[in-house]
């Protein structure tokens, strides 16, 4: 699916608003412009780290599994649609070839029948597209929930203050690599995912 990686990336960017920050206890002072004393105090001594959202998208095993599931289902739907479309095209070709031998009434009846079949094919295509979107939404929700719940626990255990997402083309022009916790987060996510998968297999 052309927009799959973009959609998944958006899902992950939303989820990564609450992330693990085990390695960085260094405090960074943030001074909002024209902030009052209360706001200044609120934003002082905030521990900051970031995760590369592109790495999370490509290295998290659950993301790979979701992409494979959607690609498989999309391929299946495309074949089903193509088979029906080819069958209709053959009927249209047959009608065009034999139209001269038909009476006006016969030709009109066949033409109306083909138009109905074409409309049904369009509705069938819309139905497949809707099914694919529903499946995509279901899997994206699963992805979001897994990432979100995992990161919430990490945040609680490690007194998380703030973790940003970083990716090429984002609003962040520079990020110190020492603040990058992507590998740790992805490792933890994959361990949790594989452990859960093994438990389901054992049942």
CB count within 10 Å of CB 89 equals 12
Residue 136 pLDDT exceeds 90: yes
Q: What global pTM score does this model have?
A: 0.68
Q: Identify which of 20, 8, 51 has the alpha carbon closest to the alpha carbon of residue 151.
A: 20
Q: Which domain holds residue 194?
A: 4-202
pLDDT of residue 59: 94
Split at pLDDT 50, 70, 90, the class of 33 is very low
Q: Which residues neighbour 102 within 8 Å (Cβ) at sequence distance 6 or greater?
A: 110
Give the span between the Cα atoms of 87 and 85, in whole angstroms. Answer: 5
How many domains does one find in the chain? 1
The residue with greater pLDDT, 29 or 3, is 3
């Amino acid at each position: 699916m052309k927009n799959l990686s973009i959609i998944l990336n958006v899902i992950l960017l939303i989820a990564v608003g609450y992330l693990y920050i085990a390695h960085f206890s260094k405090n960074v002072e943030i001074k909002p412009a024209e902030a009052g004393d209360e706001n200044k105090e609120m934003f002082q001594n905030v521990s900051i780290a970031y995760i590369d959202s592109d790495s999370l998208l490509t290295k998290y095993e659950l993301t790979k599994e979701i992409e494979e599931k959607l690609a498989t289902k999309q391929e299946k739907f495309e074949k089903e649609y193509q088979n029906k479309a080819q069958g209709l095209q053959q009927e249209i070709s047959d009608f065009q070839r034999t139209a001269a031998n038909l009476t006006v009434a016969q030709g009109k009846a066949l033409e109306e029948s083909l138009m109905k079949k074409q409309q049904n094919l369009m509705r069938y295509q819309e139905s497949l597209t809707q099914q694919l979107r529903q499946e995509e939404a279901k899997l994206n929700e699963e992805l979001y929930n897994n990432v979100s719940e995992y990161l919430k626990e990490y945040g609680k255990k490690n007194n998380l203050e703030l973790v940003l997402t970083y990716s090429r083309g984002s609003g962040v022009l520079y990020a110190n690599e020492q603040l990058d916790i992507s590998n740790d987060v992805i490792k933890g996510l994959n361990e949790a995912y594989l452990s859960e998968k093994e438990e389901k297999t054992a049942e």
